[in-house]
Amino acid sequence: MSKRVLTTESGAPVADNQNSASAGVGGPLLLQDQHLLEKLARFNRERIPERVVHARGSGAYGYFEVTDDVTGFTRADFLSTVGRRTEVFLRFSTVADSLGGADAVRDPRGFAVKFYTEEGNYDLVGNNTPVFFIKDPIKFPDFIHSQKRDPFTGRQEPDSVWDFWAHAPEATHQVTWLMGDRGIPASYRHMNGYGSHTYQWTNAEGAAFFVKYHFKTNQGVRSLSAEQAAELAGKDPNSHQTDLLQAIERGVNPSWTLHVQIMPAAEAADYRFNPFDLTKVWPHRDYPLQRVGRLVLDRNPDNVFAEVEQAAFSPNNFVPGIGPSPDKMLQGRLFAYADAHRYRLGVNHTLLAVNAPKATTAQNYGRDGLMAANPQGRHAKNYEPNSYDGPVETGRPLSAPLAVTGHTGTHEAPLHTKDDDFYQAGELYRLMSQEERQRLVANIAGGLSQVSRDDVIEKNLAHFHAADPEYGKRVEEAVRALRED
């Protein structure tokens, strides 16, 4: 059987792939060696800008299967029939570190799901925590800057990390999550996923509901202690990637059960705290979990770069029956995520295989730009309306309109009767066992005791005291003990 012929990118056969062309034996190399120049030029361009956040990730394909009827709450077609399956791609990630970081670190985890529905791709971009550190996107660049490597030391600095949190009391709830027992998942398979934000569902009659997504792992939640994580990160920095890859290759397909909390839209205005505040959860006694379906991962990508690194998720990719809420952080991400992909991958990134619709065909008037690969024929027009049978609008919004009132300006979120930055952090602390509290306090004190400024330490301690007196007292005593050693 004859072997295939190696060619250049233009298709010309390559005579010698072992030796560069030179001016005589042992002489300098020749500029005319197109094969050498092409290989070196491509090699220099094999990397693209990494994500500013969520840079280190893993992913897999699978399906979502509807198990319960939710048609009373949404007209989304892929959720319309019990038993219906939709292909998905799920990308897991750490948040703060770079592409070269380790998997087993104390950090939130991204949990981004792309549903390849027959009405277009629906992207649900969430985390493994139901809350986040901030509630307004204008603070997001500052927050991430405080968590990234210091320009002088080249490492994450406790002074910057805790100084930002000292000035962001709303972060106390998420800090309690992060420093608790679930702060370092044992693997991507053994953690829950959350939409975190509040989204809107609209049913066939036009009634609107606000929802929160909860993906509960069917493998059980398992986490690592700080000591276990440090050891694992040193032995195998790719531990979570290795675990996910090998599990699926063995046929041990991880799965999650999707539940939602559902709030009738009319109840949002008078709810006791702002239901669109990303630093807060909705108590289950107010809005119980309702099961929707099952998500299963059963196929690994063939090429991590092409399908994981180039996967582009954007929370503004909605489908009919699902839309945004007034959640400020969500509103900011509707722009920021899509813009990040236009920068990293180009304006035609949705034509890449992992990002393109699979159950339908994208039909629009986008044309040209870097890496355009969508020729529409000599008679196609790239304007609308036209007289040439081009695609047309439906006239039916994807979701119900959101009511707005008042004057433009930089407003704080409207206050509800029970809005508070500390109560839910205290509730989370009081749910913990004594052993969990002890580990939480030790994790916080281990970082906070390294801060060089006393005033920054005092501001953070005040947040824990406000959440729960015992919580604050124990952290304060632990920090003092470590600083006196």
Any idea which residues carry the catalytic annotation? 54, 127
* Closest listed residue to residue 109, CA positions, set 2, 253, 239, 22: 239
Residue 120, beta-bridge partner list: 117, 118
Cα-based angle 89, 257, 245 (whole degrees, multiple of 5): 45
DSSP state of 39: H
* Closest listed residue to residue 320, CA positions, set 376, 360, 354: 360
Cα-based angle 227, 231, 237 (whole degrees, multiple of 5): 130
Terminal Cα distance for the chain, rounded? 73
State the pairing for strand pair 85-94/57-66.
antiparallel
Number of helices (H), then strands (E), in the chain:
12, 10
Are 186 and 222 in contact, with CB atoms under 8 Å apart? Answer: yes
DSSP state of 30: P
List % helix, strand, coil for the chain (3-state, nearest 5).
Answer: 30, 15, 50
Asked if the bond preceding 385 is cis, omega within 30° of 0, the reply is: yes
Handedness of CA 169, 170, 173, 176 (dihedral sign): negative
Helix axes 454-467, 469-484, angle to 10 degrees: 150
As a whole number of angstroms, the distance between CA 467 and CA 393 comes to 51
Residue 58, beta-bridge partner list: 92
Based on the number of CB atoms within 10 Å of its own CB, is 373 exposed (0-12), middle (13-18) or buried (19 or more)? exposed
Name the helix (H) or strand (E) containing 335.
Answer: helix 328-345
Residue with tokens 């006239």: 395
φ and ψ at residue 256, rounded to 5 degrees: -135, 145
As a whole number of angstroms, the distance between CA 286 and CA 92 comes to 30
State the pairing for strand pair 255-264/208-217.
antiparallel
As a whole number of angstroms, the distance between CA 89 and CA 354 comes to 8
As a whole number of angstroms, the distance between CA 416 and CA 403 comes to 17
Are 99 and 48 in contact, with CB atoms under 8 Å apart? Answer: no
E-strand ranges in 104-170 read 109-117, 120-127
Q: Which long-range contacts (CB under 8 A, 24 or more apart) does 11-19 make?
A: none
